[in-house]
Amino acid sequence: MKIKVNQRIDELDEMTTRKWGSGAVPEVSLDYGLKGHVGGRANYLKEEIQINYYLLDKYEDDYIQQTIGHEYAHLVAFKVYGRSILGKPHGKAWKYVMRCLGMEPKRCHSYETKAARRTRTHSCECNRCGKKYELSTIRYNRILRGYNYYHPKCGGKIEPVMVEGPKMYS
């Protein structure tokens, strides 16, 4: 896989050099990579591409062609157009570079991904109508600290469901 990634970088570098006089030869970070829904990430200052190893492994050919190309185009756009692209990383400059490199300027991938972390939920309910809710830990903790959430239909207050612990007998 690493050989194919490097071949793709070399191919992109050659096209970039022909078009703009110099290319980019980024470090490709395979060791720690990205997780979750992120396909890849370009680090302009380090001239580095970080990859999602899970997606590379699962969608090898398309990932190398499209995602490596997508991230490489970010580095080239930064090199050619400078800091002006920082506020709009998928703007006109990046789209132009993508087209020059023979790719459709798609912002997002369509790979099937798995979440980087699992989220925990907590049971709550409306104190007026009894509607059940599963809230994130963040919202649940806000309620515990006094923040109020209300049921949009009946206006009742959403409160934690108190789970009884083991009964103690004396």
In whole angstroms, what is the distance from residue 64 CA to residue 163 CA?
50
Are 9 and 42 in contact by the 8 Å Cβ rule? The answer is no
Mapped to the 3 state alphabet, what secondary structure does 107-162 carry? CCCCCCCCCCCCCCEEEEEECCCCCEEEEEHHHHHHHHCCCCCECCCCCCEEEECC
Residue 27 among the catalytic residues: no
Are 46 and 28 in contact by the 8 Å Cβ rule? The answer is no
Q: Coil, strand, or helix at residue 10?
A: helix
Q: Which of 11, 48, 71, 104 is catalytic?
A: 71
Residues belonging to the active site: 71
